[in-house]
Chain A
Amino acid sequence: MQWRTIYRKECVESARNFKWIWVPLVFILFCIIDPLSTYYLPQILESTGGVPEGATFNIPTPPPSEVFMMSISQLNTLGLLVISLITMGTIAGERKSGVAELILVKPVSYMAYISAKWAAHVTLVVLSILIGFLASWYYTQLLFGELQFLHVLIAFFFYGLYMVFVISISIFMNTWTKIPGLVLFLTLCTLILINLFTNLLPHFLEWSPTMITSYLPTVLMNGDIAQNLWMASVMTIILTALLLMGAKIVLSKKEIT
């Protein structure tokens, strides 16, 4: 019961902050900017000049699945930044302003508080990604050719898992400090470190959450779901659960002292 109240309160707050409007729009923008600019590349080159007279370029048209991957890689950089930015103050800010104390003196469990906030952000972000994916799929279909909708949906499912994992990292970092900026810094550092280790030891960390993105091209191309992709997803879900539990433990220790 209380869980639903906190969840609803979070959603109302997101609506008041216009998050429900701008986050989906921004994700659509991120997703469609690459298909568009790839499509118009010859015209852009022509109008900006710098191309010597008479030079002819033969820019090969990338296959649809590759264009779609461009959108995903855009989300992987700018999208991650936006997600970290919108989640950075969700608990840290409330503890700073004292709202968290107001909520937690009532008989609300820490787990309910954390998971409701987490769920509210997951709803917003996952829906935004879905809309962004649909927009990107539409443009890819329109400008570059056939891309199966089912493959896009499968890719969305796995990519959504990864994004949920990112939100969990941010929520976990939220419980450590009261400074939103530091939360952002820690979240991005964690993501960079995970990325770095995965890139350094690709054979040992085939199940790392950041590997999900690198398995997506095959999914988009022919719908094959690699064994490693399943394992990476399971790993991501386990890590997400651990992060949420860790957040609960840290927060309960912080509030007592």
Chain B
Amino acid sequence: MIMTQDVIQTINEHIAIIAPLLIIQAILIVTALVSLIRTEVTNGPKWMWALIILFISTIGPIAYFIFGRRNDT
């Protein structure tokens, strides 16, 4: 419990440094979701990609952009 408080405190102190990291991840997630909603067909079920994008940070959206989209149709 004390440890998590420590972590939270450190994060609060350094929010200006870490913020860009979080913002970039947020943009990645949002663009991936927008693209997912707009496309009609994906490789594999859509709900699966939604879960992957939302819950696997960083790698999820990238994986969707590379493997989820069908570009050749």
Contact present for B71 and A93 (CB under 8 Å): yes
Chain B residues in 8 Å Cβ range of A96: 72
B25 nearest in chain A by CB position: A29
Q: How near does chain B come to A103, taking the closest CB pair, in angstroms?
A: 14
Q: How near does chain B come to A8, taking the closest CB pair, in angstroms?
A: 17
Chain A residues in 8 Å Cβ range of B69: 17
A-B pair number, CB within 8 angstroms:
61
Given contacts A17-B71, A47-B3, A96-B72, whether A32 and B31 have CB atoms under 8 Å apart is: no
- Cβ of B15 under 8 Å from chain A: no
The one of B17, B65, B72 that contacts A22, using a Cβ cutoff of 8 Å: B65
Contact present for A18 and B65 (CB under 8 Å): yes
Contact present for B18 and A36 (CB under 8 Å): yes
Q: How near does chain B come to A144, taking the closest CB pair, in angstroms?
A: 12
The one of B3, B10, B24 that contacts A29, using a Cβ cutoff of 8 Å: B24
In the bound complex, what is the Cα–Cα distance between A93 and B71 (angstroms)? 8
Contact present for B73 and A142 (CB under 8 Å): no
- Cβ of A89 under 8 Å from chain B: yes
Chain A residues in 8 Å Cβ range of B32: 18, 22
Q: How near does chain A come to B42, taking the closest CB pair, in angstroms?
A: 13
Contact present for A93 and B61 (CB under 8 Å): no
Chain B residues in 8 Å Cβ range of A40: 10, 14
- Cβ of A58 under 8 Å from chain B: no
Chain A residues in 8 Å Cβ range of B25: 29
Given contacts A18-B35, A89-B71, 20 further A-B contacts (CB under 8 A): A17-B65, A18-B31, A21-B27, A22-B61, A22-B65, A25-B28, A26-B28, A28-B20, A28-B24, A29-B25, A32-B20, A40-B14, A47-B6, A85-B66, A86-B66, A93-B72, A97-B73, A135-B20, A139-B17, A143-B17
